[in-house]
A and B are shown apart, each in its own frame.
Chain A
């Protein structure tokens, strides 16, 4: 399991593909994935298509990421969520902070 990242749309978008379990066991790996992200990025997209499961520590990691990446300058998208992952975001009212799809 590893996190794959890529830039898109001339460096204005940054995509992180999260696979497997998204919880504290990935905390370092996840932070490494977005630290040093290019300043040109306007949209940060976390793609959950391959995420099997998430827990509250995963939610904390997303909030941390948002906080450390200047949220006033960027939008954060959580995309391709499986139904259960989506439900966890809904319960947590993440729609106030992220664009969820």
Chain B
């Protein structure tokens, strides 16, 4: 603590020196205005004391200029009891305290103690404020980071997000899934401001991690609910709608709890379907009680989904003039849900009705997302290879050799995206060789009652007893040709391949060969039906057009 004192009167100076010294306060005493001015470098951290005794008119004017305004925090002025003009001047400056001379020392000490404690409080407050600002900016940063994973630049979504305070208790999350679907979460924590926003962090982390894995909506809400149930106090919970729009843009799977009903509007802007929430908000129930059941909803091409928080329909509710659900729909259809017009209309409503909550609105156009994963392809390895597998009956009994083979091939550069297709055709050829060539199973069995299951039971039985037989699988990859030659051969009896007819795909058997024919080229049989050979195209263009 320090005091900056201006005093020309010697007796008064001595008194102030004595009293401040008794209080343990360091003092800078000035007898002239210019010294005093330079001493006033940091007036807010010091007690400022000005006695008008023995000052000239010029000095008083100079003092008035220095002391006016907010810069001087805690100011004590001392004026002679008979100095009317001095009192007027002091009043104009509006000091923290005003003391008239002569006074008793006790009076002075009392006043000084009082002012020092005011000064201390103010300094404390400044510190608290600075700290709060610092903390707020850190927290703002954390929230910004948490939400920075929101997908940007998706052309078919529009948002209106109007928080009521710095921290938004409404939460909007948006991410793409690995299969090209998109995930959308719009929610509203109870209350607003920082306490409401705190649940944002775990919710966003869970949402983004699970969207990236392509988890179904029911799994996402289950996880978020569990986290919030553990984290939030009982009085805090999270009303939310979570939606996944398929890559085709044709269906929504959604879960909604505690939110006003989202709806789908048709081309004319009329509401064609409501997504009425069927659940309690997130964070209320424990994992055992929680119901993650979602709903599949098909949408027509070009339909628009409107999601919003209750801040929208409760605009003006504090003055008993809520906009309401009907009012909101009228307002939206009036502008055919065009986002800029809608925002203007909502801002106008907020202006006239008054707001007391966060307000959020999301409009999603249900069209193919264009985020199909097959558009990301890698060049194929330039390394030619040839693989020849000789599968004995023991190998056939013990494993799925096609799976083993493909898990290796899938590691080669550029092959991952063809793995599933290769798997299908090689599996079909291998199963054909194994089931008909080696195990002598007849597809006629499948035609009978429960034949499908019996066929595979019989397959399992015969395979477990297999002690002879050989199947060869050959793969031949030439990088220059963008295709892979596949041959599968067995040492069974073969069959009359000329008798193969075009099977209808809805029949119980023959589907496997049909798949090979359709997915590959140059299919040929040889060695009396014991060997099949075909080419599988490794063309990215082809994959893309699927």
The secondary structure that dominates the A interface is mixed
The answer to whether B296 and A45 have CB atoms under 8 Å apart is yes
Please give the distance in Å from B36's CB to the nearest CB on chain A. 78
Please give the distance in Å from A77's CB to the nearest CB on chain B. 7
Q: Which residues of B contact A72 (CB under 8 A)?
A: none
Selected from A13, A47, A55, the residue in CB contact (under 8 A) with B428 is: A55
The answer to whether B427 and A49 have CB atoms under 8 Å apart is no
Q: Which residues of A contact B519 (CB under 8 A)?
A: 87-88, 91
In the assembled complex, B114 has its CB within 8 A of some CB on chain A:
no
Once A10-B278, A21-B403, A93-B506 are accepted as A-B contacts, the answer to whether A88 and B424 lie under 8 Å apart by CB is: yes
Q: Which residues of A contact B427 (CB under 8 A)?
A: 23, 53, 55
Once A8-B293, A79-B251, A93-B505 are accepted as A-B contacts, the answer to whether A52 and B420 lie under 8 Å apart by CB is: yes
Once A84-B424, A101-B248 are accepted as A-B contacts, the answer to whether A17 and B511 lie under 8 Å apart by CB is: no
Q: Which residues of A contact B296 (CB under 8 A)?
A: 8-9, 13, 15, 43, 45, 77, 79
A15 to B253 alpha-carbon distance, docked (Å): 11
Please give the distance in Å from B370's CB to the nearest CB on chain A. 14
The answer to whether A92 and B515 have CB atoms under 8 Å apart is yes
A86 to B519 alpha-carbon distance, docked (Å): 12
A63 to B427 alpha-carbon distance, docked (Å): 19
Interfacial residues of chain B within 361-377, with CB under 8 A of chain A in the complex: 372-374
Once A13-B295, A23-B427 are accepted as A-B contacts, the answer to whether A56 and B420 lie under 8 Å apart by CB is: no
Once A13-B295, A45-B296, A101-B251 are accepted as A-B contacts, the answer to whether A80 and B179 lie under 8 Å apart by CB is: yes
Please give the distance in Å from B106's CB to the nearest CB on chain A. 82
Please give the distance in Å from B377's CB to the nearest CB on chain A. 11
The answer to whether B216 and A47 have CB atoms under 8 Å apart is yes
Q: Which residues of B contact A10 (CB under 8 A)?
A: 278, 293
Please give the distance in Å from B173's CB to the nearest CB on chain A. 19
Selected from B177, B218, B508, B543, the residue in CB contact (under 8 A) with A6 is: B218
Once A47-B216, A77-B296 are accepted as A-B contacts, the answer to whether A101 and B246 lie under 8 Å apart by CB is: yes
The answer to whether B518 and A6 have CB atoms under 8 Å apart is no
Known: A7-B293, A9-B295. 20 other contacts (CB 8 A): A6-B218, A6-B292, A8-B293, A15-B296, A24-B456, A49-B216, A52-B420, A56-B428, A56-B512, A59-B505, A63-B506, A80-B247, A82-B420, A83-B372, A83-B543, A86-B546, A87-B546, A88-B515, A93-B505, A97-B506
19 A–B contacts, CB within 8 A, in A order: A8-B253, A8-B295, A9-B295, A13-B295, A43-B296, A53-B419, A56-B515, A57-B431, A60-B452, A79-B246, A79-B251, A82-B420, A83-B372, A84-B424, A84-B546, A91-B515, A91-B518, A92-B506, A101-B246
The 10 A-B pairs of least Cβ separation, nearest first, read A84-B420, A56-B512, A56-B511, A91-B518, A9-B295, A83-B546, A92-B505, A53-B423, A55-B427, A24-B456
- List chain A positions with a Cβ less than 8 A from chain B: 6-10, 13, 15, 17, 21, 23-25, 27-28, 31, 43, 45, 47, 49-50, 52-57, 59-61, 63-64, 77, 79-80, 82-88, 91-94, 96-97, 101
